[in-house]
Amino acid sequence: MIKAGVSSASFYPMHTEDALRILGEMGVRNAEIFINDFSEASGAVYAEIRRIISDYDMNITSLHPYSPMESGYLFSEYDRRQDSYLDKYRRYFECMSEIGARFFILHGSILSSGCPDDLYFSQYTRLLDIADSFGVTIAQENICYCKSKSIDFLRRLKENCGERVKYVLDIKQAVRAGVSPFDFVEALGEDIVHVHVSDNSPDGDCLPIGKGSFDFEEFTRKLRAKGYDGAMILELYRRNYGDYSELYDGMKKMEEIIAKSAKM
């Protein structure tokens, strides 16, 4: 069943636990947690995050880590850095098992890093193997400044790493890469397990739902036709909206669109 929700990333640079609490207070029950620092996966901060999830009976769809170091660590040619980062990801996967989050969102290597495809595929397979042991699904996101901006690369990732490869489709990132989100759905739809939504128009590529001209009804209908039954998570940048209520209102609009698409 497709459900709408909001990512805590929409409040950055607010602390993660504070963002999650606001979502809970607003009545958001489906949420993605954006982890901004390794310290948030342990100790007092992590305990507070778990308490908030329980207090507001939240369903955590996914965990999205702060990603700039993935190129220099996970997809590095230096084995010690690889191993060090994989150890940190194991802790993320433990957290996900504890809070019930299924999807781990990965940006991957940035284009300027020059990461060879064979290294990327090898490291991705290592990550898949570790995630499997925790019951976690790695979901590769399309990012305009990463190798994953390309539909062709994402196809080759699956060809080389197998059926376990799944995808996150981010509408704004597709637009920024000059690729229609509908093309991603057509090419990869059966393996898209998570979606980041935002509106867009000639005036902006990351707008609150209803503030742009993107055809969400047709988009949702095409996702359904591919068998999609995951979450549609609103992810905005803080500079792209005003009052927090715009997040809740956007989620409610997505719920209406989802319900309408089910009747088509």
Indicate the burial class of 86 (C-beta count within 10 angstroms; 0-12, 13-18, 19 or more).
Answer: middle
Mean pLDDT within 145-172: 98
Q: Using the predicted structure, report yes or no on whether residue 173 has a pLDDT greater than 90.
A: yes
Mean pLDDT within 179-207: 97
Could you tell me the pLDDT band of residue 58, with boundaries at 50, 70 and 90? very high
Q: What percent of the chain has pLDDT over 70?
A: 100
Q: CA-based angle 18:21:27, to the nearest 5?
A: 145
Query: What's the mean per-residue pLDDT of the chain?
Result: 96
pLDDT: which is higher, 258 or 68: 258
pLDDT in tens, 232-258: 999 999 999 999 999 999 999 999 999
Question: How much is the pLDDT for 89?
Answer: 94
Question: How much is the pLDDT for 190?
Answer: 96
Question: How much is the pLDDT for 142?
Answer: 98
Buried/exposed code over 107-127 (b: 16+ C-beta within 10 A; e: otherwise): bbbbeebebeeeebbebbeeb
Q: Using the predicted structure, report yes or no on whether residue 264 has a pLDDT greater than 80.
A: no
Could you tell me the pLDDT band of residue 68, with boundaries at 50, 70 and 90? confident
Could you tell me the pLDDT band of residue 76, with boundaries at 50, 70 and 90? very high
Residue 8 one-letter amino acid: S
Question: What is the token pair recorded at 121?
Answer: 């595929």
- What is the pTM (predicted TM-score) of this model? 0.97
**For the chain, how many residues are written?**
264
Question: What is the token pair recorded at 263?
Answer: 């009747």
Mean pLDDT within 6-24: 98
* Alpha helices in 63-111, H assignment, sequence order: 79-99
Question: How much is the pLDDT for 104?
Answer: 98
CATH code of the region 3-262: 3.20.20.150
Mean pLDDT within 71-79: 92
Q: What is the largest CA-CA distance in the chain?
A: 53
Question: What is the token pair recorded at 253?
Answer: 């609009």
Mean pLDDT within 65-69: 86
Could you tell me the pLDDT band of residue 183, with boundaries at 50, 70 and 90? very high
**Calpha distance 105→62 (Å, rounded):** 7
166: which strand partners? 139
Query: What's phi and psi for 140, nearest 5 deg?
Result: -80, 120
pLDDT in tens, 41-56: 999 999 999 999 999 9
Question: How much is the pLDDT for 241?
Answer: 97
Mean pLDDT within 78-106: 96
| Cα–Cα distance list, 40 to 37, 66, 199, 251 (Å) | 6, 11, 30, 26
Look at the alpha carbons of 49, 54, 61, 175 in this order and tell me if their dihedral is positive or negative: negative
Question: How much is the pLDDT for 262?
Answer: 83
pLDDT in tens, 151-161: 999 999 999 99
Q: Which residues contact 34 (CB under 8 A, 6 or more apart)?
A: 7, 8, 9, 12, 16, 19, 64, 65, 66
| Cα–Cα distance list, 210 to 19, 162, 222, 235 (Å) | 23, 38, 19, 14
Mean pLDDT within 51-70: 95
Q: Using the predicted structure, report yes or no on whether residue 97 has a pLDDT greater than 80.
A: yes
Q: Where are the domains of the chain?
A: 3-262
